[in-house]
A and B are shown apart, each in its own frame.
Chain A
């Protein structure tokens, strides 16, 4: 029986395993050094905040794996012998594979800051990071202040986590406004306000210069590059992005004498079929780097959904139906303290040449939508929505059908996904658009038949 080995029990590896099992009877082994069972990395914050226990982050009960004949092996892969198709583990074990899927995810970036390996400095990626945080920042007596370096999605989550335990937080953001490499200015400003209103000491345009140690090798303070200010703290969170977790491959590439080495760049290089340069080795999820980017997507996409989609796709290829990884329309979501964010299609931080924008903000300053469309053809390109939930299916359809912004606004009532009885804002939104664009779009009433595509 063909043995499929997957390194990494994150969303991408586990999705691949599940689908391979559905499609075939192959022997499957998932290897991980992080945890015995698959858990949801995105939920780590809720464990620290006390919303969940760790076991709640595990999407499948423990009997699931045995029942589906998916072997789990806890161990750290140190070396891939591509000639003999064998994995070598840190503890000396080895494991033969017929096909190997590399799904090792990411690791937090460290940019060579002085003091970045001190006690009390940590990323926020692995389960072990959470355990460290629990040790160094259990409460505001032990941790009198924490400094977070890097203003992205994980940074703001870490801020919310620490805030839930009443630990004062200083948040160093390199950009002039939060996440404004991705968010347009309006949304970025809204989130700045949300961060500040939660009592976080937000420092924009601020870089970390160095982390200072006390005499026991523990963090004492940080120094800000721009101002030279020293901020005393007990914990430093490094959240300046992530990069593929493939150092073990680079090591084994240089170490192995026999066999071809796996081609890597920032990540493991793969073609559209998620195949590496070696015929029986594939890579998916955060650690995979597309040789040629797909559409407007980046070559490395470190998000949950793409990991899952690659897992769904690779299973087909492994089971004999070789198909390309062809993700559909871009979507994503996040939550910034109390403000939920969803996006469908593309809304760039800066409009491109052919793009026009429409922005509406609610008087509360906690809800807004931002639509991007083609200024010549009127074609809908994408939407950011903050504080209002919208239907994925609706926008996916709009994008596939290449509908115009006018059509989207007319049918905006179909898009709303907020709980029942919530206040609706579509009228206000359409009115604003009409005034700004001297148009006469009439909002249509919500229609179940359209929403659920029943005829």
Chain B
């Protein structure tokens, strides 16, 4: 068994290495046709840019994406600079430089990867999946009979912030930086999923398709791990199946199929304010222009946030969204599960959490207010602040850096719910409802707690569960996503997630059940 696992690990690493090295292979040549098509489709009016491109880029062969990108961007920037100086505003190219460069690179690449897309799919995704499964599945036997087997978690360099953890951290952060800020470097990655993208949406793959596909693959493989690890626990099995379903069908397939039918890309489960650009003018315009479906989406999006979300939280707690439906939660609960013990449980962290997450919510609401005001009034600035600027800041700081780079990149360092705990504005909103108006709580089983600390340690949200359990007090916390792991790891059966009557949900106690009833009355009911 160990043999199979080690072989699996080796195969996985070969896949990963191949995937990483793809960035560096292949050739890029921008033909005159590519340039002409670009000029047409973007309506480029800058002769300066076109000249720059013709002199420096067109017809030349580039052996890596970095030099191509730098030439295109310098062509763009020198042209833009001159136009801005001369106030030739219609000639300025407003696209984000690296996205612009991506579009050119995607068409101009050539070489072995582009010619053998499926082969390279197998050499990267294929080997990765195969190797990972060979590593994961033997655990059915290796880890022993069903039950909680967190053996060696704190001895393992992958899960105790050891060198493997730091290595994974660097890899993930690098990946997100490329994905968000340097898509033109990773066109080779997008080639290998082109055939799949063609089949689903009819288009070539963008970096976002690549990301969506990779996301689904990673979640599926790591869901297999969850199924094995928690095979004795039906709550975990069902929850894992649910997040996987919503990711693959709602976040990945439906939006791509909508695109195939020339409808707007939309993820029906992604609720505002997590879906922060829902009220951006381009989105509203697009929806309104898309007829019946567009209108439906518009209404659905509003109803989802204002009605469905709070009502569901009232009945089931925020877990219905955060650990049964949400895509960010889905990744955290699959890929992130091995890192849950790394979350910070200190009181300081809790304080920081409340400040941060509510600030992000406020930021999202203010930004949306500005956006809507601008949309309906036609002004492009409110109180002297350009809505575009504040959107850009939000998109960069919250949408990319916080949700992506920190949110997922830092899994191996800060645990798997950094974004959900400190950053997600939807979580903040759900949390307020859960804390003040919900039937959900984690019930503490009388006086049975032995203060062992397993629950707190394995709480991904950094809730000090034990602090409540050892007082015989139910856990009612805004940040609880109801993953159910505290209950699973508790060796004394102390914790149960349940939806019951609101009355008595919060039950501070000093003297625990099991002691003198008169003393309990005296102290608890004073």
Q: Which of the segments B260-268, B398-406, B483-491 contacts the partner chain?
A: B483-491
Smallest CB gap from A421: residue in B: B234
Smallest CB gap from B512: residue in A: A308
Interface residues of B in 463-517 (CB under 8 A from A): 466-467, 470, 484, 487-489, 491-493, 496-498, 500-501, 503-504, 510-517
Smallest CB gap from B347: residue in A: A61
Given known contacts A56-B456, A333-B492, is B467 in contact with A392 (CB within 8 Å)? no
A51 in contact with B457 (CB, 8 Å): yes
Smallest CB gap from B233: residue in A: A419
Given known contacts A40-B450, A46-B454, A327-B515, is B147 in contact with A59 (CB within 8 Å)? no
> Residue A66 at the B interface, CB < 8 A?
no
> Residue A377 at the B interface, CB < 8 A?
no
Smallest CB gap from B492: residue in A: A333
Q: Which of the segments A86-94, A184-192, A202-210, A444-452 contacts the partner chain?
A: A444-452
Give Cα A393–Cα B489 distance, bound, in whole angstroms: 21
User: When the two chains form the complex, which single residue of B457, B488, B496 contacts A52, counting CB atoms closer than 8 Å?
Assistant: B457
Given known contacts A46-B454, A57-B452, A419-B487, is B500 in contact with A448 (CB within 8 Å)? yes
Interface residues of A in 387-441 (CB under 8 A from B): 389-393, 396, 400, 417-423
What distance in Å separates the Cβ of A236 from its nearest Cβ neighbour in chain B? 23
What distance in Å separates the Cβ of B365 from its nearest Cβ neighbour in chain A? 34
Q: Which of the segments A72-80, A281-289, A337-345 contacts the partner chain?
A: A337-345
What distance in Å separates the Cβ of B387 from its nearest Cβ neighbour in chain A? 44
What distance in Å separates the Cβ of B442 from its nearest Cβ neighbour in chain A? 11
Give Cα A75–Cα B148 distance, bound, in whole angstroms: 38
> Residue B111 at the A interface, CB < 8 A?
no
B151 in contact with A51 (CB, 8 Å): yes
What distance in Å separates the Cβ of B150 from its nearest Cβ neighbour in chain A? 4
A331 in contact with B147 (CB, 8 Å): no
B492 in contact with A51 (CB, 8 Å): no
A328 in contact with B516 (CB, 8 Å): yes
User: When the two chains form the complex, which single residue of B466, B496, B513 contacts A328, counting CB atoms closer than 8 Å?
Assistant: B513
Give Cα A308–Cα B449 distance, bound, in whole angstroms: 11
Q: Which residues of B contact A324 (CB under 8 A)?
A: 516
Give Cα A329–Cα B452 distance, bound, in whole angstroms: 23
What distance in Å separates the Cβ of A47 from its nearest Cβ neighbour in chain B? 8
- Type the 1/0 row for B120-155, where 1 means its CB is closer than 8 Å to any CB of A: 000000000000000000000000111110111111
> Residue B74 at the A interface, CB < 8 A?
no
> Residue B519 at the A interface, CB < 8 A?
yes
Q: Which residues of B contact A305 (CB under 8 A)?
A: 447-448, 514
B466 in contact with A50 (CB, 8 Å): no
User: When the two chains form the complex, which single residue of B147, B347, B447 contacts A338, counting CB atoms closer than 8 Å?
Assistant: B147
> Residue A42 at the B interface, CB < 8 A?
yes
Give Cα A418–Cα B511 distance, bound, in whole angstroms: 24
> Residue B41 at the A interface, CB < 8 A?
no
A11 in contact with B451 (CB, 8 Å): yes
B496 in contact with A342 (CB, 8 Å): no
What distance in Å separates the Cβ of B512 from its nearest Cβ neighbour in chain A? 7
Q: Which residues of B contact A313 (CB under 8 A)?
A: 515-516, 519
> Residue B446 at the A interface, CB < 8 A?
yes
Q: Which residues of A contact B450 (CB under 8 A)?
A: 40, 42-43, 304, 333
Q: How many B residues touch A, CB cutoff 8 Å?
A: 59
A50 in contact with B491 (CB, 8 Å): no
A417 in contact with B457 (CB, 8 Å): no
> Residue A49 at the B interface, CB < 8 A?
yes
What distance in Å separates the Cβ of A91 from its nearest Cβ neighbour in chain B? 30
B500 in contact with A340 (CB, 8 Å): no
Q: Which residues of A contact B489 (CB under 8 A)?
A: 51
> Residue B238 at the A interface, CB < 8 A?
yes
> Residue A154 at the B interface, CB < 8 A?
no
> Residue B305 at the A interface, CB < 8 A?
no
User: When the two chains form the complex, which single residue of A164, A392, A420, A422 contacts B447, counting CB atoms closer than 8 Å?
Assistant: A392
> Residue A323 at the B interface, CB < 8 A?
yes
Given known contacts A340-B493, A453-B504, is B514 in contact with A42 (CB within 8 Å)? no
Given known contacts A51-B150, A51-B457, A331-B448, is B497 in contact with A420 (CB within 8 Å)? yes
Smallest CB gap from A14: residue in B: B451
Smallest CB gap from B467: residue in A: A59
Residue with the greatest number of chain B CB neighbours at <10 A, chosen from A46, A49, A338, A454: A46
Q: Which bucket holds chain A's interface residue count?
A: 35 or more
Q: Which residues of A contact B445 (CB under 8 A)?
A: 389, 391-393, 417
Smallest CB gap from A42: residue in B: B450
> Residue B453 at the A interface, CB < 8 A?
yes
Give Cα A421–Cα B324 distance, bound, in whole angstroms: 14
User: When the two chains form the complex, which single residue of A312, A420, A453 contacts B515, counting CB atoms closer than 8 Å?
Assistant: A312
> Residue A68 at the B interface, CB < 8 A?
no
B448 in contact with A333 (CB, 8 Å): yes
Q: Which residues of A contact B511 (CB under 8 A)?
A: 312
Given known contacts A50-B153, A331-B514, is B501 in contact with A421 (CB within 8 Å)? no
Residue with the greatest number of chain B CB neighbours at <10 A, chosen from A51, A421, A423: A51
Give Cα A333–Cα B452 distance, bound, in whole angstroms: 13
> Residue A213 at the B interface, CB < 8 A?
no
What distance in Å separates the Cβ of A417 from its nearest Cβ neighbour in chain B? 5
Interface residues of A in 301-333 (CB under 8 A from B): 304-305, 308-309, 312-313, 316, 323-329, 331, 333
> Residue A335 at the B interface, CB < 8 A?
yes
> Residue A298 at the B interface, CB < 8 A?
no
Q: Which residues of A contact B523 (CB under 8 A)?
A: 312
A42 in contact with B500 (CB, 8 Å): no
Q: Which residues of A contact B235 (CB under 8 A)?
A: 419-422
A51 in contact with B513 (CB, 8 Å): no
> Residue A53 at the B interface, CB < 8 A?
yes
Give Cα A342–Cα B446 distance, bound, in whole angstroms: 12
Q: Which residues of A contact B457 (CB under 8 A)?
A: 51-52, 56
> Residue B47 at the A interface, CB < 8 A?
no
Q: Which residues of B contact A296 (CB under 8 A)?
A: none
Given known contacts A51-B454, A389-B493, is B488 in contact with A337 (CB within 8 Å)? no
> Residue A266 at the B interface, CB < 8 A?
no
Smallest CB gap from B457: residue in A: A56
What would be 27 A-B contacts, judged by CB atoms less than 8 Å apart? A42-B450, A46-B150, A46-B452, A49-B150, A50-B156, A51-B454, A57-B452, A61-B346, A304-B450, A312-B512, A312-B515, A313-B516, A323-B519, A325-B516, A326-B519, A328-B515, A328-B517, A331-B448, A331-B514, A389-B496, A391-B446, A392-B448, A400-B517, A419-B233, A419-B235, A420-B235, A448-B500
What are the 4 closest A-B residue pairs judged by CB atoms, nearest first?
A: A392-B446, A338-B147, A389-B493, A43-B452
Apart from A313-B519, A323-B518, A389-B493: 19 A-B pairs, beta carbons within 8 A:
A11-B451, A19-B510, A46-B452, A49-B150, A50-B156, A56-B453, A309-B512, A312-B510, A312-B523, A324-B516, A327-B516, A328-B517, A334-B492, A335-B492, A340-B492, A391-B446, A396-B514, A421-B235, A452-B500
